[in-house]
Amino acid sequence: MNILIKIVHKSIDFKNLILYFFSCVLFVSIFVTLLAILDINSCINMAADLTNIKIVFSLYYILLAVIAFIFIQFAFAYYTKLRLQDYSLLLILGIRKVTLLILVFLEYFTIYIFSYFIGLISGIALSEIY
């Protein structure tokens, strides 16, 4: 298992990894900044008797979630396409499919966790500026 981790580490193309990582960070920071700038919850509370405004703000949340899902799916598909040759090579070298799935999961999970926290911090910082 230790050799497999070394092989995976050596096969990572850091240029594409950084591109993928920062695209996730960028989206999270933009998402957090937009939510903080518009401060939707306070607008909903101010317009408690206006149901149309509540509907518009609810649709805004849904639209942001859909855009987030599409963007993350696009970034995931692009990065996976780039890494497909590496994954195939690992399978040819004799790695079990379960082990490969665990390694891929850990790789993507680590990227998402770090990009989420860095994006959250930068989004909060950007919202404080504006």
Please report, in tens digits, the pLDDT of each residue of the chain (130 residues total).
566 667 666 666 777 778 788 888 888 887 777 777 666 566 666 655 566 766 777 777 778 778 877 887 888 888 888 888 888 888 888 888 898 888 888 888 888 888 888 888 888 887 777 6
What is the torsion angle, in degrees rounded to the nearest 10, for the CA atoms of residue 46, residue 52, residue 54 and residue 59? -140
Domain residue ranges of the chain, discontinuous segments joined by +: 14-129
pLDDT of residue 93: 82
Q: Residue 42 has what pLDDT?
A: 64
In this prediction the pTM is 0.67
Classify residue 71 as exposed, middle or buried by CB count within 10 Å of its CB (0-12, 13-18, 19+): middle
DSSP character for 96? -
